Amino acid sequence: MLKDTSINHVNVRKIISMVGGKENISKITHCLTRLRFILYDQLKVKIDDLKKIPEVKGCFNQDDQLQIIIGTNVEKYYKTIQQYILKIDDNKNNKISNKVYSKFITCLISNLSEIFFPLLPTLICGGLILGLRNVISEIPIIDNKSLLEFYPILKPIYEFLWLPCEAIFHFLPVAICWSTVKKIGGTPILGIILGITLVSPQLMNPYNLIDQSPNVWDFGLFAIQKIGYQAQIIPAIFSGLFFGWFEKFMRRFIPDYLKLVIIPIITLSISLVVAHGILGPIGRMIGNEIAVIIKFIMFGNFAPIGSAIFGFVYPLLVVSGLHHTTLTIDLQIMQSQGGTPIWPIIALANIAQASSVVGIILISRKENEREITIPAAISAYFGVTEPALYSVNLYYRFPLFCAMAGSSCAGFICGLFNVLSNGIGIGGLPAFLSIKPMYWPIYFFSTIISIIIPIILTIFVYRYQKRKGILISN
């Protein structure tokens, strides 16, 4: 076995041992910062010993999964652990997997992060490029004129930058179908083909539905409207899930010598009808309803309260592992409203978690603690909060709530002024690059709030608990 010298293989073997050995591992996946284990026997896990391993920032059980927080280096640990457990019995694997994933909703929620994880680089890139285009076209320089108006030479750059943005966002269903089909265990290239059919130029752009009625394919017994799903998330996920499931179903009945010929044509043909005739319209309806609900909660008169509530509870979504589900809502709102109010609050919640750790750094004098707190704070300020959450804030407990209070206040301000981002971007302090430039002043003020309040509250509560003798000392 070729060893990666950048990671500690002794501790990798300890992780495998502490989860009950490779014989106890049914399946392992990962997201941006976490290893996710499906185990045969959860009772064999030694949680306390796992937490003592330096690379482990935290671990807990969620939806029959053991989730171990590693950090941004998680992919290397995932690949190394895979090398150590290659000899797992596939038949035993399938048996436990069918048991764990028997509930569709649980399956959908637990796998959303794994569907979106491969797409994150493109989504972040797209959000930042959209931000750059808005900087060129929206920031007033002199006499309320933008850079584009002052320097017409920027127009070709502005127009050229729409190429990657269009590819990333308008044709996002292609990437989602690919990732979903791959996750389910289908053929990824067929997932790409399915995704392309959802955004084909033959179809009416959904943005034009208000102005004109779509044409239809009339099959006699039924008709299918020629409507595209550009930039739509839920129809693509539903279509990819069906395709992956149906392809795996077909494999059980088609002989090996006919699989290459029969399975692609049958699965793709039937999936096309189901996607465009059933799942696509249902997905669009669900997406529109979600947009209406979010618009009510985070736009208009209720926006300050809704944004404050979301800012308060978002860290709990991170703890539970459900925070990746917000990507679906973010992208859906962005498609319908031209921007999302959710991402700015997520970024402010990242900053607030980091600031609570800074409060601990400033007030605590514990020996060797800064070896953990300083890297955790830096990581959270750049959008990866798990080290801060699990190594510091959940350890002390009260810094988590101090951070939640800070992000709630910052969220209230953002909601009051309807701050929007162009889309998904870098989290933490650099997130302003994805915020629409017209909202930069109020967003910078919200950022200051999300820094100051958690620091002050954390220092105050730390001193209070120390004076009362109830501060964690071990």
Give catalytic residues, as residue numbers: 31
Q: Which of 45, 47, 54 has its CA nearest to residue 19?
A: 45
- What's the CA gap between 305 and 293, in Å, rounded? 14
- Is residue 231 packed enough to be buried (19+ CB in 10 Å), middle (13-18) or exposed (0-12)? buried
Sorted by sequence, the CB contacts under 8 Å of residue 52 that are 6+ apart come out as none
Distance CA 113, CA 63 (A): 14
Tell the burial category of 194 from Cβ atoms under 10 Å away from its Cβ (0-12, 13-18, 19+). buried
Distances (CA, A) of 366 to 4, 363, 382, 464: 34, 9, 25, 17
CA distance 322 to 117: 13
Question: Measured at the alpha carbon of residue 191, what is the angle toward residues 120 and 35, in degrees to the nearest 5?
Answer: 40
Residue 59 and residue 68 in contact, taking contact as beta carbons nearer than 8 Å: yes
Report how far residue 39's alpha carbon sits from residue 22's, in angstroms, rounded to the nearest whole number. 9
